[in-house]
Amino acid sequence: MHMPNNGKRILVTGGAGYIGSILVTRLLDAGYKVIILDKLMFGVDPLKHFLKNPNPNLAVIVGDIQIEDDVNRAVENADAVIHLAAIVGDPACAADSELAVNVNFNATVRLADICKKHKIRRFVFASTCSVYGMGKTGILTEDAEVNPVSLYAETRLYGERGILSLADRNFSPTLLRLGTLFGLSPRMRFDIIINYLTQKAVREKKISIFGGDQWRPLLHVADAARAFQVAMEGPLEKVENQIFNVGLANLQIKEIGQIIKQNIPEAEVHVLDKFEDKRSYNVSFEKIETILQYKAENAIEVGIKEIADALKDGVITDPTDKIYYNHYAC
């Protein structure tokens, strides 16, 4: 098989995470050499495929992006970096705000600075559409005003700004603002809306939707992984110092409930008035489509079906296990 990328070494921080564990396989399949730097907050299970089938093109460094020696060791041999390691989600950041600020902001900007010193020009950062927050009308492009309403979103936004402030002729970061993810991954998460509601619908045959009018941009986890590869490989002049929104579609929470009902008809859907999560935003994905010809492919139904099948087939036995919920690890 022709391996066009043979020899290029990609450091993936957080490579054992929900996105990372898919992205790493994708990069290896594309012929890259991959270095994972991850502190394995959710155990080694997401990498068990590689333990069973060791891959000479994969190196795993169990380490912490807050520790400079770990970062230096990981960065030393890398040609490009995809930075995913983070304390992810509002509840996880609220559970340990000091850790969240340290990892998501301080260690993130330091990592970018170390990459710059190592003359690693390509640096792709995982940000989030949560930076748009609430109270915005119309379709939000990358130039829209931001309004983060949680510590998580703030740490991602300040991370973005810190990374962009380092940009120069030798350091050309690309920032992806991802929608809320869904779908199956070797490191499963059930603390994100579609995955959470799907497991409830399958197990309890009943789901409750709070509010329902809030808008969310959504994206399948495999499409997210592909976006990182596309951004990393994109022509430098098109991706350097750029922010791209990445998503499949914007849906209201109540529509998500309807789609789950269509796919798991035995489940009842209740829409309740009260809701605490105030985030609502409707995001444009035109820039990445126009500039990088990237379009998300996997429909919401695909993610629902994958998860329902994994539960029915016993691939996942207990989706209420704390390992699937980020805030328990903090």
- Catalog residues that contact ligand NAD under the rule CB under 6 A: 14, 16-20, 37-42, 64-66, 84-86, 88, 103, 126, 128, 156, 178, 180-181, 187, 189, 192, 326
Q: Which residues of 291-311 are buried (b: 16+ CB within 10 A; e: fewer)?
A: ebebebebebebbbbbbbebb
The Cα 103–Cα 110 span in angstroms is 10
Which is closer to ligand NAD, CB of 113 or CB of 170? 113
Q: How far is the CB of 287 from ligand NAD (least distance, A)?
A: 17
Let me know if 4 is exposed, middle or buried by CB neighbors in 10 A (0-12, 13-18, 19+): exposed
Which is closer to ligand NAD, CB of 312 or CB of 322? 322
Q: How far is the CB of 283 from ligand NAD (least distance, A)?
A: 11
Which is closer to ligand NAD, CB of 66 or CB of 97? 66
Q: How far is the CB of 181 from ligand NAD (least distance, A)?
A: 3
Q: In 10 A of CB 290, how many CB atoms?
A: 9
Q: How far is the CB of 257 from ligand NAD (least distance, A)?
A: 18
- Is beta strand 215-220 parallel, antiparallel or unpaired with respect to 180-182? parallel
Q: How far is the CB of 237 from ligand NAD (least distance, A)?
A: 26
Which is closer to ligand NAD, CB of 202 or CB of 227? 227
| Nearest residue to 308 via CA among 180, 179, 190, 224 | 190
The Cα 105–Cα 112 span in angstroms is 11
Q: Which residue is nearest to ligand NAD (CB)?
A: 17
- The residue assigned the tokens 């792709």 is 124
Which is closer to ligand NAD, CB of 4 or CB of 72? 72
